Amino acid sequence: METRRIGSLTVSIVGLGCNNFGWGLQEAESARVIHAAIDAGITLFDTADIYGGTKSEVFLGRALAGRRRSVVIATKFGMKVDDRRQGAKPEYVRQAAEDSLRRLGTDHIDLYQLHTPDPTVPIADTLGALDDLVRAGKVREIGCSNFSAAQLADARAEAVKIESAPFVCVQNELSVLNREPEREVLPECERLGLAFLPYFPLASGLLTGKYTRGRPAPAGSRLSQEWASSRFMSDARMAIVERLTAFAGQQNHTLLELAISWLASKPSVSSVIAGATSPEQIRQNATAASWTLTRSDLAEIDRIAPPASR
């Protein structure tokens, strides 16, 4: 599988988002997905302390026992775990990191990411605490998530000012159905040399090809849940999905391959961290980045699913 860089880290172009572990999948099922990912050449595993009510990190750590040195573990902190654990104050950064290290059963986190900006804490304070973790060898690289272009620029300026480790990546929502980051965040990533990690790269499953307009979502799927269907599904989006599916089919490819290869075509994107609930989904995701889109392919995708206006 193709590899790319996140700071000093080398990662597979397709990664595994571990948000299903501990919620939709229990430990044995999670382990099967994780092991299938490794077998398929996936090296980046992205989780967070809040996933599965902290179980995702536990399940991931146990499944990677004996294989830790061959993978890159990314996790996140900052969103509410409970009433005592949330935010980006320096003392909590240190506590959250120790908690994640313990749950993951490892002595270091490869990529430690601030899950969401904390407006109550100066970014320099958070960066200083993260820099301490890097210097102590407990974290290799640091990143952020849900940051605007202005917040990325401010974080880099503060890192330079206080001589701390800088964020090397940002993780925001991006898919062929949600192209908002193309307006400001992706250009800022190129300017600063940041890697971009797209979450919801398949629009919560809408771009997998298993949903049809006018038919209910398959039982048990994420889009069968009201919160997901109201956020991701609409007649307008389904019309775009149908046209993208038809275009991909004309090129002897699937909608899934179009969705992942389109993201991989962007130089700033280092890994497409798609979730999966079965080994078969993992195998499909792992091979989906093999379509090298031509300029005419990209132009047709732009015609069907126009970029966000700048």
Q: What is the pLDDT of residues 176-219, one digit of tens each?
A: 999 999 999 999 999 999 999 999 999 988 999 887 776 766 66
Share above pLDDT 70 across residues of the chain, in percent, rounded to a whole number: 94
Residue 214 contacts by C-beta under 8 Å, 6 or more apart in sequence? Answer: none
Region 244-258 average pLDDT: 97
Long-range CB contacts (within 8 A, 24+) of 105-109 = 105/61, 105/62, 105/65, 106/61, 106/68, 106/73, 107/137, 107/138, 108/137, 108/138, 108/139, 108/140, 109/73, 109/74, 109/75, 109/138, 109/139, 109/140
Q: 74: domain range?
A: 3-204+257-291
Q: Is the pLDDT of residue 310 over 70?
A: no
Residue 21 lies in a domain: yes
Out of 45-49, 82-86, 123-127, 148-152, least confident range: 82-86
Out of 181-195, 207-221, 250-264, 289-303, least confident range: 207-221
CB atoms within 10 A of CB 76: 25
pLDDT at residue number 233: 73
Q: Is residue 59 within 8 Å of residue 30, measured between CB atoms?
A: yes
Residue 99 lies in a domain: yes
Residue 211 lies in a domain: no
Residue 55 lies in a domain: yes
Q: Is the pLDDT of residue 304 over 90?
A: yes
The confidence band for 24, taking pLDDT boundaries of 50, 70 and 90, is confident
Q: Is the pLDDT of residue 229 over 70?
A: no
Q: What is the pTM of this model?
A: 0.94
Distance of CA 224 to the CA centre of its chain: 22
Task: Determine which one of 51, 92, 199, 211 is catalytic.
Answer: 51
Known catalytic residue at 92: no
Residue 111 lies in a domain: yes
pLDDT at residue number 235: 83
Q: Is the pLDDT of residue 104 over 70?
A: yes
Residue 76 lies in a domain: yes
Out of 30-34, 124-128, 227-231, least confident range: 227-231
Looking at the structure of the chain, the number of domains it has is: 1
Q: Is the pLDDT of residue 234 over 90?
A: no
Residue 139 lies in a domain: yes
Share above pLDDT 90 across residues of the chain, in percent, rounded to a whole number: 87
pLDDT at residue number 163: 98
pLDDT at residue number 209: 84
CB atoms within 10 A of CB 249: 13
The confidence band for 231, taking pLDDT boundaries of 50, 70 and 90, is confident
Residue 265 contacts by C-beta under 8 Å, 6 or more apart in sequence? Answer: 292, 293, 298
Helix ranges (H only) for the chain are: 27-39, 55-63, 90-104, 123-135, 149-162, 185-192, 226-232, 235-250, 255-264, 279-287, 295-304
Q: Is the pLDDT of residue 223 over 70?
A: no
Residue 215 lies in a domain: no
CATH number assigned to the domain comprising residue 144: 3.20.20.100
| Per-residue model confidence as pLDDT tens digits over 27-82 | 999 999 999 999 999 999 999 999 999 999 999 999 999 999 999 999 999 999 99
Long-range CB contacts (within 8 A, 24+) of 297-300 = 297/251, 298/262, 298/265, 300/247
